[in-house]
Amino acid sequence: MRKFIGIDLGGTNVRVAVVTELGEITEEIKRPSQASEGPEVVLNNIVEMIYTLSSLSEVEGIGIGIPGPVDTEKGSVTLSTNLNGFTGYPVVDYLKEYFKMPIYMDNDANVAGLAEALVGAGKGRKVVYYVTHSTGIGGALVVDGKVVSGRKGYAGEIGNIVIDRDRVRRSDVNTLNAGAVENEASGSAMVRKAQETIDRQITSAFEIFKLYEKNDPKAVKLVDEMSYDIGQLMATIAHVVDPHVFVIGGGVTSSRDLYWDKMKAAYQDLVHPHMRDTEFVLASLDEPGVIGAAMLCYSQEA
Amino acid sequence: MRKFIGIDLGGTNVRVAVVTELGEITEEIKRPSQASEGPEVVLNNIVEMIYTLSSLSEVEGIGIGIPGPVDTEKGSVTLSTNLNGFTGYPVVDYLKEYFKMPIYMDNDANVAGLAEALVGAGKGRKVVYYVTHSTGIGGALVVDGKVVSGRKGYAGEIGNIVIDRDRVRRSDVNTLNAGAVENEASGSAMVRKAQETIDRQITSAFEIFKLYEKNDPKAVKLVDEMSYDIGQLMATIAHVVDPHVFVIGGGVTSSRDLYWDKMKAAYQDLVHPHMRDTEFVLASLDEPGVIGAAMLCYSQEA
């Protein structure tokens, strides 16, 4: 059984795991990522972690998932917002000084999408579109088992897609477009809107769904609007890539029973009739980050 | 030099050509397509045309470009609107009865995009997004020299993407969404709007651009709005696939000097800063239809 190292580097923690070609984790280490300390501290920590793996001698390659758009040819992050000093830093080249094996890097949503496409809910499907619906909204396109990252890694930056150009720009929150779907239908956007219209004490989308279940009219309106906005996003994506399946993950999906039917209805209303039966399935992996990072090695050589 | 047959089947004419692997046409025949006569008449006509090719014995495969979304696995059109009886008809299987070689079929916009990506304006680029801006608006995604057609061939049906959900649905024109970009910014949409707001005698986008050059305020408004709508469409596509280049063809581009700068400004305003320098180039092939159809053979085996 072939094995690869998967690294899931986030703003808070970093996970390093040995993963088989079937997506099984055989060994895993987790530490704080020390994101504020700069790339050398962060990467030396990862190098140390890799050296402590008992099966290091058996692995054939290393894959890294990292926040922010990734220039996969250069092996660096185009624009890093939560890892200090990583913008443009040659991460892959740095690690190659220590490990004489193929090393690949891609965006965290892209590697999660790759994991779902290869060994998760999208397994066996030719064109998989993965969407993470969480505090933010991100996506990943996987075709024939390979991630399409694009020119500078901005493929899948779907949170900035305008679903309604007449909405107010939220310059107080971020630099996304007026009417960008992330500022209208993400978990954070729902909380922001609920604080404005329902109760300033609300801090999670889960609380909004609780009120929705009690038929609170403002919560119903909010969930309805979110469902439509996400459905329109999916329709937009479908007209670009017509995926065999949409795989959806992220925290908001824990309340999927309360909004997926509405989301699908909006989707079906906004696509050509033959596209209406596109499947929407829930992401199925507990740790798509390390698995997908490891799978980068496998998918790149195919 | 390897050679393939490319077939460009349209509602009016059908072209059959022998094309080299470099995209050079060495022989070409054109006839009326007899689109109203049903698939057997149309296909028997094509079979005859192929038999008349002097270099038939040298070709290694056949590719067909056809209007409408194509199920590339089945080798049939999912929904045909301008070829009578073609919906679901097993075109590829029918031709395989006559020719013992690989036969592939895809949508006309997809094969045009493939031609531009392999031997045209997008040559050598990893992710090419092709847009045809004509009476309609269509697109094609080509990754690593292969078309991404999607589940039922609806990848690239970008004309139905909503760029402004508050526009009026044009049920009098077609079944596209309210605010679908094709009904707002295609050549036909421009003419429709110009007839409503400027002069009922206007019959072409070219006339509108003529008025624009004379600073007719209504024509300026129309061109400005179209440019913004197309720019937003491009930004939307870029957030899904981040292409290395946009290749744009179609009749409206003959007036590109009058609106591309505005279109690009809108695009740049609606994408992340690192995406602003994405290239927009004009399609460069005279006959992308037959060339791209032939190239299907070449790209599918790679």
Q: Assess contact for A280 and A271: CB atoms under 8 A.
A: no
Question: Which residues sit opposite A194 in a β-bridge?
Answer: none
What are the pLDDT digits (tens) for A41-76? 999 999 999 999 999 999 999 999 999 999 999 999
Tell me: pLDDT of B301 over 80.
no
Is residue B302 scored above 70 in pLDDT? no
Q: B117: which chain A residues are within 8 Å (Cβ-Cβ)?
A: none
For domain B3-115+286-301, give its CATH number from 3.40.190.10, 3.40.50.720, 3.30.420.40, 3.40.50.12780: 3.30.420.40
Mean pLDDT score, A27-51: 97
Question: Residue A301's pLDDT band (boundaries 50, 70, 90)?
Answer: confident
Contacts of A77 in chain B (CB under 8 A): none
Determine phi and psi for A277, rounding to 5 degrees. -95, 15
**Residues of chain A with C-beta less than 8 angstroms from the C-beta of B155:** 127, 239-242
Tokens of B217: 């305020």
Residue B263 half-sphere exposure toward CB, CA atoms < 13 A: 25
Dihedral sign computed on CA atoms, order B270, B274, B275, B276 = positive
A274 vs B127: CB contact, 8 Å cut-off? no
Half-sphere exposure of B145 (CA within 13 A, CB side): 13
Asked if the domains at A3-114+286-301 and A124-282 fall in one CATH topology, the answer is yes
Residue B244: which of B277, B268, B216, B267 has the closest Cα? B277
First CA to last CA across chain B, in angstroms? 16
> Smallest Cβ distance to A274: which of B78, B166, B271?
B78
B-interface mutation test, from A106, A142, A242, most B Cβ less than 10 A away: A242
Closest partner residue to B242 among A155, A163, A232, by Cβ?
A155
φ, ψ of residue B81 in degrees (nearest 5):
-110, -25
- C-alpha closest to that of B189 among B173, B177, B175, B201: B173
One DSSP character per residue, A229-271 reads HHHHHHHHHHHHH--SEEEEESGGGGGHHHHHHHHHHHHHHTS
Query: What pLDDT was estimated at residue A9?
Result: 97
Is pLDDT above 80 for A84? yes
Distance (Å) from the alpha carbon of B244 to chain A's nearest alpha carbon: 5
Give the architecture (CATH level 2) of A3-114+286-301. Answer: 2-Layer Sandwich (3.30)
Domain ranges for chain B: 3-115+286-301, 124-282
Query: Residue range A133-152: average pLDDT?
Result: 96
Q: Which of B151, B165, B241 sits opposite A155 (nearest CB)?
A: B241
Pick the CATH number of A124-282 from 3.40.50.2300, 3.40.50.1000, 3.30.420.40, 3.40.50.2000: 3.30.420.40
- Residue A299 Cα to chain centre, angstroms: 18
pLDDT at res. B300: 80
Tell me whether residues A242 and B127 touch, CB distance under 8 A: no
pLDDT of residue B215: 98
Note the pLDDT tens digit of each residue in B45-85. 999 999 999 999 999 999 999 999 999 999 999 999 889 99
For A157, which of B127, B239, B244 is closest by C-beta distance?
Answer: B239
Contact B160 A272 (CB under 8 A): yes
- Structure confidence at residue A302 (pLDDT): 60
pLDDT tens digits, one per residue of B180-211: 999 999 999 999 999 999 999 999 999 999 99
Instruction: Give the residue from chain A lying closest to B128, CA to CA.
Output: A150
Residue B290 CA to residue B26 CA, distance in Å, equals 11
